[in-house]
Chain A
Amino acid sequence: MKTKTVVFPHASALFATTRDRHPQRRDPSGTNGNGAAGLATWRASILCVAVAVCVWAPSAFGQQKHYIKGTVKAIPVHDLTAAEGGIQPAVVPEGRFKADTVTPVKPPLPSWNYSVVAYDTKTYTGTILGRSPYYNGKTTTTLQAQIVPLIITIKDANGTVVYDPTAADTCAPGHTGVDIIVNSPLFTNNAWTMNSLSMGNTQYEDANQRAEFWSLLGNTPFHLTLQESTLSAQSLSFGTGGTSGPGSNYPTSVTSACEELGVVETNDMNNAIQTLITGSLAASVNVGTIPLFLTKNVVMSDGDTNLFGPNCCTLGFHSAFTVGTNLQVYGPFVVDTAQAFGPGFTGTMAHEVGEAINDPYPSGSTNQTPPWGNQGQVPAGQCQNNFEVGDPLSGGGVPPTSNNWVIAGANGLTYDLQELAFFSWFYGDPDLGTAGFYSNHGTFTGHSKACPPGGTFSASN
C-alpha cells in the first residue's frame, strides 16, 4: 500500500503523524470496499483523516527529535497492454488450505497461491511471492530486486534542487543514497533471532518469511532472498519546466531537516515510474524483476506538493500492473538521508517490500483478509481487509505498534526496520509462525480480532 506522511510544524520541530487513506467506497460494516476490479482505485488505510485527530504520542514532543510522519501504502494493480510474463501461481494444499489450479505463465516472479478458511469461517485466497512453504522440498528462492536510482530535479520559486541518490551525501558522509540502501539489512545478511528462534544469517525479509511460516519450515534451507542489482540512474524533472509534473522544494530552514526536501504528486510519480518501466528500462525490467525506484529526500503527496498539507507525505508504496496474465511489481521509496521522517533509512522499505512479497496483488480481488482494524495504521472505527503485513504495526498508529529492529550495519550506519505481522495474525489459527507469536518481533501474541471493533488478541486473552 502507498505510504503517506503528514507534516505538522510544531514550534521549531515538525510534528509528524501517520495516516492512511482509502477514498474508495466502504461497506456498511466499515470494511474497505476494495472494488472488484480496483484498477483505478487507490487503496490505502487511513489512520487519521484530519489533522485534528492526529496528535497522539507524548514522545513526539519534548526534547526528542521530532520527525515528519511518513506512511506507506499500496497502489492497486493496473492494466497494461504489453505482452509480458508475470506471477506464476503455485499450489498450497495443507490442512485447511486447499490447492488452487495453476496457470503457467512465462518469466514470472516465483509465487504460490493459498486458500485458507480463516477464523471467521470464510475462505480467502491469495498469492505470495517466493516458494511455497507447503512444498516438500525446501530451498532458496531468489527475487530479482533492481534498485533504480531516480535523479530528480525540482525547480520552483525556491530555486532548482537536484536530488541525487548516486551522489555523495552531505548528511551521511562517505555514503550515497544508493549504497545506504544496497548495504542495508534488506540486502545484506545479519543474524536474526525472531521470537527467541534463530532465523539464520540472512536478509531481513527472508528472516521474516521464515518466521512467518516457521511451523512449516523449521531449520530447513528454505529462504526467500533478494538478489540486488543497481540499474542505471534515471532522471526525472518536476516543477517549473519539468516534464513529470509539479514539484516543490523545502529548504532546511523550513524543515529543520539535514538537507532539502522535495515533494511531488503521488500520481505523477507513479506515472513517471510506469513510463520508465515500459520505456527506457524495458530492456532490463520485466515481470521477473522487482524494480525499486529510489529517491533521495523526495517524498510524495496526494493531489498536491505541499509538505505541510494533509495529503503529505508518502515515503513509498508498492504496486503492480498487469502484463498479460502476469504482474509487474514495483515501488518507489525514499532514502531519507535528511533524517526528516525518522532514523534508520529503511523503515519504510522494510514495510513495503514485506508487503510486496506477501501481497503482490494490491487490488480488491485477491489477498483479502477478514476485516481488521483499530490497530497500527487503521484507527478505531475503521477496518481494512487486505494482507498488508506492515500496516497493522505502522509506527505511530494504534498501539501496539512496531517494535522496530535496530541493526548496526557493517558500514557503520544504523538501520531501522519495521516489524511485520504474520499470515496467521490476519487469518487466525493454526499459528503457522514462530509458536505463540503473530509478528516477527514479539508484539503480536494473538491473531487479529474481527473488525469492527478490531484489535488483536493477546496470549492472555
Chain B
Amino acid sequence: MSNFTRSTQFSLAAGLFLLTATAGNVSDTVVQVTTLTNQAADSTINWTQLGADQTAVSASFGVTSTAGLSATVGLAATGGLATVVCSTAPPNATNCSWTGTGLPTGSEALWTTDGANGGHGPVTLTFGSSIFGAGALIQADAPGQFTAQIQAFNGAASLGSFTALSDSAGDAVYIGLKDTTAAHVSKVVFSLTACHGSCADFALGTIQLNTPSTTAYVLNLAVTPANGGTISGTLNGAPASCSSTCSVTGTGSSATLTATPAAGYTFASWTGCPTPSGATCTATLSGTLNISAAFTGSTSLTYTQGALVQNRSTGIFSRTVTVTNSGTAIAASAYVADGLPVGVSMVSPSGTTDSSAPPSGSPYLELGAIGGGGSVTKTIQFSRTGTQAITYTTRILGAGPR
C-alpha cells in the first residue's frame, strides 16, 4: 500500500483522519493530528538549542529532545537560521526576527531561509529511535495562504502523509501525525506544497513528539509451586517469561501475561494481577509490580493386578499389583482391598487397615511415593478359612503433590 494522502482544511474541527499504511511487513494505522492539544506530546525538540536569534545552521545537524531522544535535522542546503518569534509587531519589534502570527511569541523556530526570498526546505527529522508521532506549528515566510505537509516514514517505507491549509492571511498552522499501531515512525518531513513566494521558505516551531516511554518498570514474577508451570508474555512488547521466580525490567508500562501449567498441573489463580482473566493477566504498571501464578497438581493413578495364584503347600493366595502415576508426583499411595468376604484376610502385608475412606477398616497395601509418570509394583497375599471366593473392591489412594 502506498500513496496514502489526505488533505484537511485546517479550519475544520479537529477530526480524526485515519491512514492505514504498510511498512515492510507491518501494517500501521496513522492518524493526522491538527492541534497541539491532540498531539499530547510527551516530549519536544526545542530549537533554542541551536543558539540565539539568527544563528545559522548547516544543512544537517543534530538535536536532542527534552526526553533525550536524538534526531538529525536535514535541510536542502546550509543557510537556515534560528529565529525568535516577535512578541510585538514592527515597528516596536525588537530582539526577534519572525513577525508572523500563530507561532508562540518569544519562542524559537527553525527558519529555512536562504537569506533572500527563497528557502532551504523541506525539513527532515530522522530520529535516533522510532517514535509514535510528531507534529509542529509551521508558517510560510511569504504572507498569504499556504498548504503544509507532513510525511512519515518507517525506514525507507512511507507511512503516508497529510496536508493542512492555512487561513488566507497565512497564520501558522499545526500539522502532525500519530502511528496508532506502534512506534514505527523513524523519520518525518515537513514541507509546504503550495504557497506564495518560495515554498522552500518557512518556519517550523517546536517539534512535538510522541515517544515510547523510557521509564524503567519492574515486573516481579513467581510460579507456585516451582515447576508447576510458566508465566509468559510481554512487557510493552518485550518478552517476559518465568518458570519459578524472576524479575523483568522494561521501558513500557503495559504487560500481558499468560500462565501455562506444567504437565500434571492445572492453573489455579493469579496473585497481584490487576486484571486477571482466566489464565491471562493484563496490567498497566506505574512502578514495580509483583505477580504470581499458582498451579495445582493433579493425581492420575491407574493400576493393573495379576491373577490370584494359590500356593498349594501353604494355601496362601498371591497377586502382583502395579500402580502407575500419570499425574503429579505423589508422596504416598496405597492399594486398598475393600469388602473382603468373611474368612478372607490379607496376610501380607498385615495389620494395616485403612480408615481414610469407607468402608473403613479395609486392609491395604502401602505403595509409597510414585513420581509423575512413574509406577510401582508390589505383591499382596490373602488367606481364607474355607473355600469362599476371594473377592474385593480395589481402591487406590494417592497423596500429593509433594
- Report which A residues bind B (CB closer than 8 A): 88, 90-91, 93-94, 99, 102, 104, 110-112, 130-132, 134-142, 214-222, 435
Contact = CB atoms under 8 A, between A and B. Distances in A.
B171 to A, nearest CB: 10
Contacts of B203: 136-137
Nearest to B99: A136
Nearest to A102: B197
Given A93-B143, A136-B203, A221 B196 contact: no
A206 to B, nearest CB: 14
B113 interface: yes
Contact of B81 (A93, A139, A214): A139
23 contacts: A90-B117, A91-B142, A91-B144, A91-B197, A93-B143, A94-B143, A102-B198, A110-B115, A135-B143, A136-B142, A136-B143, A136-B203, A137-B141, A137-B203, A138-B97, A139-B97, A139-B111, A214-B90, A217-B93, A218-B90, A220-B90, A220-B93, A220-B99
B116 interface: yes
Contacts of A132: 117, 142, 197
A216 B90 contact: yes
Contact of A220 (B96, B111, B139, B142): B96
Given A91-B196, A93-B196, A139-B115, 19 more contacts: A88-B116, A90-B198, A99-B143, A99-B196, A102-B197, A102-B198, A110-B115, A130-B116, A132-B142, A135-B143, A135-B197, A136-B99, A136-B140, A139-B113, A140-B115, A216-B91, A217-B93, A220-B94, A220-B96
Interface of B: 53-54, 81, 83, 86, 90-100, 111, 113, 115-118, 139-144, 170, 196-198, 201, 203
A111 B197 CA distance: 11
A102 B99 CA distance: 22
A217 B90 contact: yes
B116 A134 contact: no
Given A99-B196, A218-B90, A220-B97, A139 B142 contact: no
Nearest to B172: A136
Contacts of A214: 90-91
B98 A131 contact: no
A136 B96 CA distance: 11
**Top 9 closest pairs, chain A to chain B, by CB:** A110-B116, A136-B100, A218-B90, A218-B91, A90-B117, A219-B94, A218-B93, A91-B196, A91-B197
A437 B113 CA distance: 31
Contact of A90 (B92, B93, B95, B142): B142
Contacts of B97: 137-139, 220-222
Given A99-B144, A110-B117, A137-B113, A220 B196 contact: no
Nearest to A109: B116
B98 A221 contact: no
Contacts of B196: 91, 93, 99, 102
Nearest to B96: A220
Contacts of A112: 117
A317 B91 CA distance: 33
A218 B54 CA distance: 16
Given A99-B144, A131-B117, A220-B90, A138 B81 contact: no
B86 A88 contact: no
B140 to A, nearest CB: 8
Contacts of A220: 86, 90, 93-94, 96-97, 99
B115 A135 contact: no
A218 B113 CA distance: 20
B94 A218 contact: yes
A136 B141 contact: yes
A136 B171 CA distance: 10
A246 to B, nearest CB: 42
Contact of B111 (A102, A137, A216, A435): A137
Nearest to B94: A219
A215 B92 CA distance: 8
Contact of B117 (A93, A111, A217, A221): A111
Indicate the member of A90, A102, A137, A142 with the most B CB atoms within 10 Å. Answer: A137
A112 B83 CA distance: 21
A141 B116 contact: yes
Nearest to A224: B116
A139 B144 contact: no
A450 B116 CA distance: 34
Nearest to B114: A110
A135 B97 CA distance: 10
A104 B119 CA distance: 12
B98 A136 contact: yes
Contacts of B53: 221
Contacts of B95: 219
Contact of A139 (B54, B118, B143, B198): B54
Contacts of A217: 90-91, 93
Contacts of B92: 218
B91 A215 contact: yes
Contacts of B86: 220
Given A90-B117, A141-B115, A220-B96, A135 B91 contact: no
Contacts of B140: 136
Nearest to A108: B116
A44 to B, nearest CB: 30
Contacts of B115: 110, 131, 139-142
Contacts of B144: 91, 93, 99
A132 B141 CA distance: 10
B116 A215 contact: no
A251 B123 CA distance: 64
